[in-house]
Structure 1
Amino acid sequence: MEKDRKLDHIQLAFDSHTGMLEQDRRFIYEPMLAAHPEEKAQPFLFLGKMVRAPFWVSSMTGGTGVAEKINKNIARACREFGFGMGLGSCRKILFDKTHWADFDMRDTIGPDQPFWANLGIAQVEKLLKERNEKAMIDLVGGLRADGLVVHVNPLQEWFQPEGDHIEQPPIETIEHLMSRIHLPIIVKEVGQGMGPASLKRLLKLPLAAIEFAAFGGTNFSKLELMRENPAVQEMYEPFAFVGQTAHQMVKSVNLLLQEVEEPQCRQLIISGGIKNYLDGYHLVSLSQLPAIYGMASSVLKHATGDYHELKTYVGNQLKAYRLAQQFLTINPDYDSA
């Protein structure tokens, strides 16, 4: 066996060369200062619950034919590895329970992991205008969810052929919502992130967390635009390339903490364009607020089939994250625009 291993080394030596251009300059590698990570991670408090992984599965599917299977697979992984999930838009089950089973995952995820319902800002605005806060309270209560994620998506709604018209600034709707109901609230974008002025207003609110859903990952504005006719696509296509990356948003929040006295929101879910554990580790480490990182599309790819496939993927991601924690520190000289 030792002979075979050495032979492999000889055969693979030339193929394993790395060039200077391939160096990941975000990190400083320190091999002398830690042992290999333990198999079990240390629990920590996030969103009011003890979790075992700095990971979050961002809201994705809102009730397709395979939604129940996807959500159940994700909920099983959350329970097994100790992290939380946000459902896709629950609009479909607000007043019609036909597809309730697609979203009803509390028994699967268990009582100990964060589990959040989700509605769009346009639906929240409409329900508040109708003075029907009870619909939101009943949704969260019926799902036994820990709170409500409100996704803010003005560009997506504008480009969506069936989109809703947003009548007032979303920050005013969020403030109105929080004055009318006493549910924990997370606010997120849907793939283009948020600039400093928006983040500053949100940090001043007693939100449970801000989720970035930054530019660089799945962009739902672009997705909806792709459903339009070619003339509309051509006219609005430049909008698909505007937004803030997760790295830009972390930097913005860190700077805003120097401006905002006693920010009310003190937790972040850093998502959008995060491809793997090193992306997540880098951004979580940079954040001056307690943060976890979220992934959507890469998890979705593994959640549509057999659970074992998702379990293997998530397990490997989290194991590698712990390895990064042991041996990598942040390079202070690295910067990315």
Structure 2
Amino acid sequence: MSDRKKDHINLALNARTDKSEADTRFYYEPLLAAHHKGEFEPFSFAGKEMRLPVWVSSMTGGTQGAGNINRNLAQACGEFGMGMGLGSCRTLLESDKYMADFDIRKYMGNEVPLYVNLGIAQIEKLVAKKEEEKAEQLAGKLDADGLIIHVNPLQEAFQPEGDSINVPPVETIMAFIQNTSLRVIVKEVGQGMGPESLRQLMELPIEAIEFGALGGTNFTKLELMRRKNKLSSHFASFGNIGHTATEMTEFVNKIAEKYPVKCRQIIISGGISNVIDGYYLTRISKVKSVFGMASAFLEHAGYDYSTLKEFVEQLKNGLGVAMQYLVSKENPNH
């Protein structure tokens, strides 16, 4: 206790809060609850059961080190009750060389959701050739619960090796789901989606939408950085185009109130780097939602499992504190 009091005296001046930095999104209610006990109520999402409203967003493909990262992430999902989307599985359509990097169901158990991942350009080709069953076979090999289709027209446009998208992605998605029994999640890859794209997706019988909003890792910027041609500087401003997770949550709320939507599950991702932001957006969402993170997990998943476990425990504890004491001003009854 003596050491703690000394710390308080020594740190007090540096712990002052600037009123201009106050987070005004919440009512803070310190009298109405005890500390969280650490157990979260299970809930259904994406076809399985989760305990934490946190999604491990797609990040690693078949590259060196991906196997260890995916195994660590899968173990954390099983232990803490999170869902997970694999990184692009395109390479597995052509070869089983990297199969071991993606074969992670045994590390996470069967209770939580796991989704494989293919790009819209690959889905377009499968639909054109009437080979939708290849996506089903891929999901079957990995004992996955469904397929994430990542929609990335700007990334493909600026990627030196990019694929041409010849059909509007929503038409490809509609054609695909008509010929498959797979659960389908559709996501962007760092720039989010506008209200009309969201409306048309929400009117389809898909499992969920993942935002991939502006503010996190931006694959258009990444591809522009890979270009050696100095003329690429003329395209740099495209990396700043898109919609934030907050903006997209507002779009979804308006769409859900106004239109007869079939998809009522969202993964709020893109620039979610802390518990408070994720908690706030799930609280103001008017459809069932979890929040997704990629870079924050990746930062801790490349080491031994104990490093990642400590990070997820901090997420869990932070969520518990938020749930007990923070009430969204925008949606106080949620």
TM-score class, shorter-chain normalisation, is over 0.9
- Determine helix, strand or coil for the equivalent of 1:257: helix
SS at match of 1:288: coil
Which whole-Å CA distance do the structure 2 matches of 1:183 and 1:3 have between them? 60
Q: CA RMSD in A?
A: 1.1
Give the secondary-structure state (helix, strand or coil) at the position aligned to 2:215: coil
- For residue 282 of structure 1, what is the aligned residue in structure 2? 280
Give 2:86's aligned amino acid: L
Opposite residue 270 of structure 1, the aligned amino acid is: I
Q: Work out the CA distance in 2 between the residues paired with 1:232 and 1:26.
A: 43
What is the alpha-carbon distance in structure 1 between the residues aligned to residue 34 and residue 178 of structure 2?
49
Q: Does the aligned pair in 1 maintain the 2:38–2:320 contact within 8 Å?
A: no
Structure 1 distance, partners of 2:323, 2:106, is 32
**Residue correspondences, number:** 331
Counterpart of 2:219?
220
1:84 maps to 83
Name 2:139's counterpart in structure 1: 140
Aligned to 1:294: 292
Deviations 1:155-198 (A, max 9, x none): 00011100000001000000000111111000000000000000
The question of whether the paired residues in 1 share the 8 Å contact of 2:71 and 2:104 is answered with yes
Q: Deviations over 1:69-114 (max 9, x none)?
A: 0000000000110111000000001121011000011111111110
Q: Which runs of 5+ in 1 are unaligned?
A: none
Q: Are positions 1:130 and 2:129 aligned together? A: yes
C-alpha offsets along residues 232-266 of structure 1, whole Å, 9 cap, x if unaligned? 321111100010000000000111122212x1001
Corresponding residue for 1:26?
A: 25
- How far off is 1:230 after superposition? 4.1
Cα distance in 2 between the residues matched to 1:251 and 1:217:
18
2:309 aligns with one of 305, 308, 311: 311
How far does residue 322 in structure 1 lie from its aligned partner after superposition? 1.3
Shift of 1:303: 0.5
Task: State the SS of the aligned residue for 2:258.
Answer: coil
CA distance in 2, matches of 1:195, 1:213: 12
* Letter paired with 1:86: G
The separation in 2 between residues aligned to 1:246 and 1:31, in whole angstroms, is 28
Counterpart residue number, 1:8: 7
What is the CA–CA distance in structure 1 between the aligned matches of 2:7 and 2:324, rounded to whole Å? 28
Matches of 2:279 and 2:123, distance apart in 1: 33
Paired letter, 2:287 = L
TM-score (norm 2): 0.97
Q: Which residue of 2 aligns with 1:270?
A: 268
**Identity of paired residues, percent?**
51
The TM-score, its normalising length taken from structure 1, stands at: 0.96
What are the within-5 Å matches in structure 2 for residues 1-337 of structure 1? 2-261=1-260, 263-332=261-330
> Is 2:86–2:115's contact at 8 Å kept on the other side of the alignment?
yes
The code of the aligned residue for 2:108 comes to I
1:226 partner SS: helix
Letter in 2 for 1:278: I
Q: CA offset at residue 271 of structure 1?
A: 0.1
Give the aligned residue type for 2:328: I
Aligned partners of 1:230 and 1:279: how far apart in 2?
38
Q: State the AA in 1 paired with 2:96.
A: K
Contiguous gaps of at least 5 residues in structure 2: none
Distance in 2 of aligned mates of 1:268 and 1:108: 25
Contact 2:81 2:112 in 1 (8 A): yes
For 1:97 and 1:43, the matched residues in 2 are separated by 35
How far apart, CA to CA, are the structure 2 residues paired with 1:69 and 1:264?
37
SS at match of 1:98: coil
Q: CA deviation at 1:47?
A: 1.3
Aligned residues of 2:158 and 2:224 also touching (Cα < 8 A): yes
Cα distance between partner residues in 2 of 1:11 and 1:236? 50
